[in-house]
């Protein structure tokens, strides 16, 4: 192996050596502890340390790195106290996730490290968002993100590279090509000679680097990082390397040919570099021994601290509290001037006022800039706020949701417009696994609002008509708003944007231009988790949201003899069960109307909670009315039959007569 030390000082050369030795010796200790049953699992990076050490040393301490589970050296090189890492691996409180996650599934703003999730791909888009935040805040900084060669097969990889290229983001995409995705060799994973060749299709610069040569990694990455700080653009790096142990220890390496293992064993990044430093007179056997003793003592002292730490105790109240970032709602009251406007206008005006209020707020979505979005919500926004803050995106929902997470990690706010709520399925993974879980896992807010134009009764068929709120009310960590009126939409949207937690904000397309209301012209907020009582009555409680509220209102207006409480939920997570309970205690009967299909919808949970908690007040069964258990059809008569609005009165009268 050839080393080029260039003009590197002896201090730098020795630091690189120490940074290589520390993670190797920690791993060797962890493998012993694994066999002793003192840790539960281990993903080895033995043989790949030079990549993590070189990249981390090439970046400045304030620049973000997004590593994976073989990048222990990123964490140790950044100087994270070892006892905290050991506590993390043992699931103890002094780790970074309070025992809620293991391994390297965590981040820490103190060390500008954003850890992985097991789904791999989203972190590439998160790196895009962090880098975009640097560009928008005029920081001369780069972001480095890691993936394995297996992860490059995921759609998120291609989405992230494309977005980074189109937006000229200073991201260094680091592929650790170690030959195997678990046991699957590269020849069964991709059909190009080098993964770096893929950069050409995205108009990106790429490099192939010997990932076992610490000086080649460090020197080239340092030069690339310096260039990117001055001229932002993405670069794809393929590091050729090999892992000398299994995917994780239980996997073993029997699938690897012995001659291949022997060949790469000769390329060990530490022993080869050590021989080079000995030859150069920079290291001596005495220095090596002294360094190993120093590191071994450091490991043992920190292990003692971790082992002496008490096991995590379950505190249910604390667990529930940590699902969401703390948010103190601030009521903002408008002046007396009102405008008689449509739902679509209220959302647009509310969004614009939030853009004026929050200079760090960025809107992203397909066609949201010049075109103003397919529903014209953001028409004129680009002229008002600039193309940097109102950003057209490629068609890549997963990559953009992930980028929104990256923006908020880097101190920004984001609103993402799904062109149609149906299309969120293409970005489902980062919504439910990254946005929803980050605060609970490692105390990181996800200051993202995802706008969801939804709903049927518009003749748009199965892919542009869904009302899929139940996908998200099921997921702890997400908030869900679903206003039915312009007044509520404007105020709730302002609150959603103020809230540091991820919010799915549903906007019914059929209501956009059909529902008018007097709405304050000024900025104002409305609280989440507070339903609105639209009608007062004694015989029955009607609960609904979205378009269902208007169907229920229409039914009551045509049947004036029905005395009902009509409750508009407005938000589904948090859900105002207190208002429902109070009404049911008075009326004794409850019917829930939802546009979503019946099974697994919000009505089912409301029904269950009322039955469990207020059964003694009921004078009849709780009734649910919902759409048919089919996809939403296109033809008018089919869609009319699918939707529950024409069946609601029948069910309502049946319950009243019970």
- Going from the C-alpha of 139 to that of each of 113, 165, 248, 593, the distances in angstroms are 18, 18, 38, 51
First to last CA, the chain: 86
Inter-axis angle of helices 577-587 and 602-614, to 10 degrees?
60
Comparing CA positions, the residue from 457, 220, 436 lying closest to residue 324 is 436
C-alpha span between 563 and 183 (Å, rounded) = 67
Residues in the chain, total: 658
Q: Other C-beta atoms within 10 Å of 207: how many?
A: 15
By the 8 A CB rule, do 373 and 92 touch? no
Helix (H, G, I), strand (E, B) or coil at 401: helix
Q: What is the 3-state secondary structure (H, E, C) of 458-483?
A: CCCCCCCCCCCCHHHHCCCCCEEECC
By the 8 A CB rule, do 480 and 303 touch? no
By the 8 A CB rule, do 149 and 216 touch? no
Choosing from 69, 105, 158, 464, which is the catalytic residue? Answer: 464
C-alpha span between 187 and 169 (Å, rounded) = 31
69 is catalytic: no
By the 8 A CB rule, do 378 and 348 touch? yes
Which residues, including other chains, have CB under 8 Å from residue 109's CB and lie 6 or more apart?
409, 444
By the 8 A CB rule, do 76 and 111 touch? no
Q: Other C-beta atoms within 10 Å of 203: how many?
A: 13
Q: For residue 146, which phi and psi values (nearest 5 degrees)?
A: -105, 150
Q: What is the largest CA-CA distance in the chain?
A: 98
State the catalytic residues.
464
């Amino acid at each position: 192996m050839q080393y080029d030390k260039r003009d590197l000082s002896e201090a730098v050369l020795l630091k690189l050596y120490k940074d290589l030795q520390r993670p190797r010796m920690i791993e060797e200790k962890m493998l012993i502890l694994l066999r002793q049953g003192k840790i539960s699992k281990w993903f080895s990076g033995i043989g790949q340390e030079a990549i993590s050490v070189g990249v981390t040393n090439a970046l400045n301490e304030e620049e973000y790195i997004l590593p994976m589970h073989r990048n222990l050296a990123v964490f140790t090189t950044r100087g994270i106290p070892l006892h905290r890492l050991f506590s993390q691996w043992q699931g103890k409180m002094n780790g970074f996730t309070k025992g809620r996650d293991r391994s390297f599934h965590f981040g820490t703003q103190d060390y500008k490290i954003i850890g992985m999730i097991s789904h791999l791909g989203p972190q590439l888009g998160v790196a895009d968002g962090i880098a975009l935040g640097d560009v928008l805040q005029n920081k001369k900084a780069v972001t480095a993100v890691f993936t394995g060669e297996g992860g490059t097969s995921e759609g998120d990889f291609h989405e992230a590279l494309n977005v980074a290229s189109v937006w000229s983001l200073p991201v260094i995409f680091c592929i650790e090509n170690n030959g195997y995705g678990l046991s699957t060799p590269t020849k069964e994973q991709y059909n190009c000679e080098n993964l770096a060749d893929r950069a050409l299709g995205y108009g990106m610069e790429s490099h192939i680097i010997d990932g076992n040569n610490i000086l080649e990694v460090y020197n080239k990455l340092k030069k690339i990082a310096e260039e990117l700080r001055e001229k932002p653009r993405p670069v794809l790096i393929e590091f050729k390397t090999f892992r000398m142990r299994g995917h994780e220890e239980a996997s073993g390496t029997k699938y690897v040919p012995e001659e291949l293992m022997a060949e790469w064993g000769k390329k060990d990044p530490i022993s080869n570099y050590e021989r080079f430093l000995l030859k150069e007179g920079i290291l001596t056997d005495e220095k090596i021994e002294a360094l190993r003793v120093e590191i071994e003592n450091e490991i043992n002292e920190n292990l003692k601290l971790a082992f002496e730490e008490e096991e995590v105790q379950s505190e249910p109240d604390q667990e529930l509290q940590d699902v969401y970032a703390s948010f103190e709602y601030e009521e903002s009251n408008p002046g007396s001037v009102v405008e008689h406007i449509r739902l679509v206008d209220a959302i647009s005006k509310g969004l614009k006022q939030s853009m004026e209020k929050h200079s760090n707020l960025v809107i992203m979505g397909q066609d949201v800039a010049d075109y103003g979005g397919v529903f014209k919500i953001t028409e004129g926004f680009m002229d008002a706020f600039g193309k940097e803050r109102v950003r057209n995106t490629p068609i890549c929902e997963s990559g953009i949701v992930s980028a929104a997470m990256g923006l908020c990690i880097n101190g920004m706010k984001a609103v993402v417009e799904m062109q149609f709520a149906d299309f969120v399925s293409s970005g489902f993974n980062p919504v439910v696994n990254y946005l929803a879980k980050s605060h609970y896992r490692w105390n990181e807010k996800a200051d993202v609002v995802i706008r969801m134009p939804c709903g049927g009764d518009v003749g748009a068929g199965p892919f542009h008509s869904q009302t899929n709120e139940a996908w998200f009310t099921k997921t702890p960590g997400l908030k869900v708003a679903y206003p039915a009126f312009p007044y509520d939409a404007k105020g709730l949207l302002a609150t959603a944007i103020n809230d540091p937690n991820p919010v799915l904000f549903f906007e019914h397309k059929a209501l956009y231009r059909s529902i008018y209301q007097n709405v304050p012209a000024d900025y104002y907020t409305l609280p989440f988790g507070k339903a609105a009582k639209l009608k007062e009555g004694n015989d029955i409680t009607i609960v609904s949201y979205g378009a269902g509220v208007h169907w229920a209102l229409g039914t009551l207006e045509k049947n004036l003899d029905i005395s009902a409480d009509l409750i508009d939920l407005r938000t589904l997570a948090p859900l105002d069960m207190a208002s429902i309970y109070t009404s049911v205690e008075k009326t004794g009967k409850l019917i829930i109307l939802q546009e979503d299909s019946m099974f697994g919808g919000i009505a089912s949970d409301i029904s269950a909670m009322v039955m469990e908690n207020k059964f003694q007040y009921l004078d009849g069964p709780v009734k649910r009315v919902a759409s048919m258990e089919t996809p939403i059809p296109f033809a008018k008569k089919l869609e009319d039959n699918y939707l529950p609005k024409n069946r609601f009165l029948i069910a309502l009268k049946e319950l009243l007569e019970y």
